[in-house]
Structure 1
Amino acid sequence: MKVVIFGGSGLIGNGFLQESLLAGDVREVIVVGRRPLDLAHPKLRQVVHDDFLDFTAVRGDLEGADLCLWGLGVSSAGMDPADYERITYGYTEAAVQTLREISPDLTFVYVSGGGTDSSEHGRVRWARVKGRTENTVIAAFPNGYALRPGFVLPRHAARSKTTAYRWATVAAGPLVPLLRVLRLAPVLVTDTVRLGRAALTLARVGYRRHVLTNRDINEVADL
């Protein structure tokens, strides 16, 4: 497979990247970002691109992709609503349009989140924006999927760029064994390795639903 990753420098994007590099059936990994990552690998090719509302300039780099992994995202907390919509929906929609033209059969995996509003008519703005983005991905590709993880634990020594999330990870760590005992872990918790493995499995064999909850993600990761 040829895998294209957006948001490779983030917590979830790093999981996508590491698991793609480890996968035996992945021949090439293209990471699109505004600046190169401090990483070298025989499978890895980095594409530096500034305008995430227009991917025409990197169209050639994206051709032949079998799988697109979208891990790019921001928190809506304290952000101007227009900026949040531009990054969350606008960037994703621009990539969808370009990839649909050149690789209509590829698998597109978009990382969303719990509480997303698929109706696009709820009272919470960020949930509507995420829902609109999910719907755009799923409508554009027969193999389009939205992942709604719960709490994501870092693996591969990755760290979230969001300070509050880093503190939450430290605080939640001791609770994970208890959640496992209570059999709540599959519903509430996953990690970056499982997210990466689940995304790759979706490209290989698909899944019965296009919107995957945390439990679905963990199930697919174990296939």
Structure 2
Amino acid sequence: MAETQPLRVLVLGATGLTGGKVVNGLLERSEVAEVVAPVRRPTGVDHPKLTQPVVDFDDLAAHSELFDVNVIVCCLGTTIKKAGSQEQFRKVDFGYSLKAAGLGRSAGARAFILMSAVGASANSKIFYNRVKGELEDAVRELGYPYLSIYHPGLLLGQRQEHRTAEALGIKVMPLVNRALLGPLVQYRGIEAATVARAMVNEVCGLATTADPVVGRQVWTYPEICRLAGDEPGLI
């Protein structure tokens, strides 16, 4: 049996829909020794394995010591409406994420798991997808030995803030999913809890791998379901 090396994991976007579930899942696993979850303001959450430093995301380099971890899970993300402009959206989704990835690589992190989006491409005509694709390309250039990118469709789950368009999409998604077959299956809506379980399982699998290496690995709906331990269903 392979020897297990307890992991120190940093989670970005820990107060978001998926990131919060990733943090909770990691805290329950014996493969994880510590979860570092930088936040903008105190959350009041207390756990012996959880470190939640309050940081200025505009100056992540001032907190470079936090990135001395084995694995980074990046679930950072916003919307153009919430950010206020395309420029601010890009600062969060691209700028913060890439800066964190660079700090982690410089500190010796071996694995980076990135929440992106289905349709992400630097060549996309859609601004949101183009920014996501540009981030993927930039992170690949950092040379992480293990890089895993998630391409979920619409994330289903109860958010703290109300997003009208997403709320409408969630209501019709069970019907839409049934129509998305074959190559269109990657566009199915998926529960944020499923994506989080997949990420947690993937992270914990690295505890038995001394020097993980993987190519440009991208997970879509079917693979995410399998990583989560679910059969790819219709919802």
TM class by smaller structure = 0.7 to 0.9
Q: 1:121 aligns with which of 123, 126, 145?
A: 123
Rate the CA distance shift 1:102–1:80 in 2: closer, same or farther, 3 A.
same
Q: Which residue of 2 aligns with 1:150?
A: 153
Is there any run of 5+ residues in structure 1 with no aligned partner, and where? none
Query: 1:34 Cα deviation (Å)?
Result: 0.7
Q: Which residue of 1 aligns with 2:98?
A: 93
Aligned residues: 213
Task: Report SS of the residue matched to 2:53.
Answer: strand
Q: Which residue of 1 aligns with 2:34?
A: 28
- What amino acid sits opposite 1:145 in the alignment? S
Q: 2:114 aligns with which of 110, 117, 125?
A: 110
Rate the CA distance shift 1:180–1:20 in 2: closer, same or farther, 3 A.
farther
Conserved 8 A contact 2:70-2:109: no
Question: 2:149 & 2:218 partners in 1: Cα distance?
Answer: 5
Q: Which residue of 2 aligns with 1:12?
A: 18
Does 1:215 find its partner at 2:230? Answer: no
Query: 1:198 Cα deviation (Å)?
Result: 1.5
Conserved 8 A contact 2:67-2:109: no
Conserved 8 A contact 1:137-1:145: no
Q: 2:66 aligns with which of 61, 65, 81?
A: 61
Query: 1:208 Cα deviation (Å)?
Result: 7.0
Question: 2:126 & 2:169 partners in 1: Cα distance?
Answer: 25
Q: Which residue of 1 aligns with 2:134?
A: 132
Question: 2:70 & 2:117 partners in 1: Cα distance?
Answer: 24
Rate the CA distance shift 1:22–1:166 in 2: closer, same or farther, 3 A.
farther
Conserved 8 A contact 1:31-1:44: yes
Is there any run of 5+ residues in structure 2 with no aligned partner, and where? 1-6, 207-211, 231-235
Query: 1:150 Cα deviation (Å)?
Result: 1.5
Question: 2:120 & 2:229 partners in 1: Cα distance?
Answer: 25
The percentage of counterpart residues that share the same residue type is 24
Query: 1:167 Cα deviation (Å)?
Result: 2.5
- What amino acid sits opposite 2:227 in the alignment? V
- What amino acid sits opposite 2:43 in the alignment? L
Question: 1:12 & 1:122 partners in 2: Cα distance?
Answer: 25
Cα RMSD for the two superposed structures? 2.8
Rate the CA distance shift 1:222–1:91 in 2: closer, same or farther, 3 A.
same
Question: 1:45 & 1:165 partners in 2: Cα distance?
Answer: 34
1:63-91 CA distance string (max 9 Å, x none) = 1x122111111113474221111111111
Rate the CA distance shift 1:214–1:208 in 2: closer, same or farther, 3 A.
farther
1:16-67 CA distance string (max 9 Å, x none) = 11111122211111110111223111111111001x243222222321x122
Task: Report SS of the residue matched to 2:41.
Answer: coil
Conserved 8 A contact 1:16-1:192: no
Conserved 8 A contact 1:15-1:195: no
Rate the CA distance shift 1:43–1:84 in 2: closer, same or farther, 3 A.
same
Task: Report SS of the residue matched to 1:42.
Answer: coil
